[in-house]
Amino acid sequence: MPRITSLLKCVADMTKKSSNLPESYIKRAMERTGWKTPSAVQYRKVQLKKKKYKFSVHRPWTQEFRDENWPGTQSPKVFVEPLLDWTFFKGDRVELLTGPDKGKQGIVNYVVQERNWVIVEGLNCTYKMLGEEFNYPGMMIKDEQPLLVTTQVTLVDPSDNKPTKAEWRYTEEGEHVRVSVRTGRIIPIPKQAEETPDYKTKSTYREQEKDTKESELTRITFQPKLKTFEMDIAEKMGIKEDRIPRKTFWYPVQHQDYEYEY
């Protein structure tokens, strides 16, 4: 059970990273307020917010997530096994341990860390007919279903293509790497894990029109001076000020609205 006090803690790190969205936006987009008092003086500020959110394959900022989490609705509680380290990434080769596709290997194409789920490309599918009519047989839709990383799926060791458990260790150079427990071989993190809607890899990001150019971004223009920000700017703009202000005092004044007492 994630702490309810912080909404953003409910959203997993993998989700935040793969979205490339600012956290404040994720929070703003997923929040559902059922009712709140009008913004006027006579009202106490009260909000009825949805506290428990249902996480499924839909990302928290999508309309599907909003539809699943109407304020005032409740979904059955889900118990998610806490894991110390997350070892599954997009682009990983995994082997299925259960279901009709047991023993088959596939590539992870979607990770839902909030539920300990991964979706494997083309495996563990459901089929349903869509648009059936009396003179038209309909269309079959194939839909990949999520798999639990704790029991239904394991990583594959790249050295012998056999299933193995993985854990995080440090190399002698101090690098944090994912290692196959059975053979001790490093399982590299695939390039696809870096992918976001904005770019495939960080190095191949194409600069947009409004972006600051990298040469401009990395240029060092700061020079330490014994001036505050305001003094520096005033000097740059040729503003001179010689007036001496009156001495003022800083202290707290409580209960400003009790003025009628005096």
Partner 1 sequence: MSALLKGLSSVLATNLIKFESLFISNRTLQFSVKSVSAPKNYFRLGQPAFSFHSSVSRRGLEEFFDDKKNWGELEVKVGRSWRVDELRIKSNEDLHKLWYVLLKEKNMLLTMEHASQEECRLFPNPERIDKVEESMNNLERVVRERNRAYFLLETGETGERPCSRVTDPLGRSYTMQYTEHFVPIYMNRRASKKHVHRGAAVVRFRRQMKEKAFLEKKRYYNRVRNHVCQLLRRFPELDEEAIQQQYPEVNLTRLRRMKYSRGHHLYNEG
For the bound state, the minimum distance from the C-beta of residue 213 to partner 1, rounded and expressed in Å, comes to 11
243 binds partner 1 (CB under 8 A): yes
The answer to whether 146 and 98 are in contact (CB under 8 A) is: no
| Cα dihedral 155, 161, 164, 166 in deg (nearest 10) | -60
The residues in 14-33 that bind partner 1, with binding defined as CB under 8 A, are 20-22, 24-25, 28-29
Site string for partner 1, 153-192 (x = CB under 8 A): ----------------------------------------
Site string for partner 1, 49-88 (x = CB under 8 A): ------------------------------x-xxxx----
Residue 190: exposed, middle, or buried by beta-carbon count in 10 A (0-12, 13-18, 19+)?
middle
- The binder of partner 1 chosen from 45, 136, 236, 260 (CB under 8 A): 236
> Comparing C-alpha atoms, which of 41, 44, 15, 45 is closest to residue 30?
15
For the bound state, the minimum distance from the C-beta of residue 178 to partner 1, rounded and expressed in Å, comes to 17
215 φ/ψ sector (left φ>0, alpha ψ -120 to 50, else beta): alpha
> Comparing C-alpha atoms, which of 141, 119, 121, 120 is closest to residue 130?
141
262 binds partner 1 (CB under 8 A): yes
Site string for partner 1, 190-229 (x = CB under 8 A): --------x------x-xx-xxx----xxxxxxx--xxxx
CB-based contacts of 140, cutoff 8 Å, min separation 6:
127, 128, 129, 130
The answer to whether 120 and 144 are in contact (CB under 8 A) is: yes
Angstrom distances, CA of residue 164 to CA of 87, 183, 184, 185:
12, 8, 10, 11
Identity of the residue, 142 or 236, whose beta carbon is nearer to partner 1 in the bound complex: 236
239 binds partner 1 (CB under 8 A): yes
For the bound state, the minimum distance from the C-beta of residue 55 to partner 1, rounded and expressed in Å, comes to 16
Q: Which helix (H) or strand (E) holds 81?
A: none
Tokens, residue 259: 């003025």
13 binds partner 1 (CB under 8 A): no
230 binds partner 1 (CB under 8 A): yes
Residues that bind partner 1 (CB under 8 A): 1, 20-22, 24-25, 28-29, 79, 81-84, 150, 198, 205, 207-208, 210-212, 217-223, 226-234, 236-239, 241-246, 248-255, 259, 262
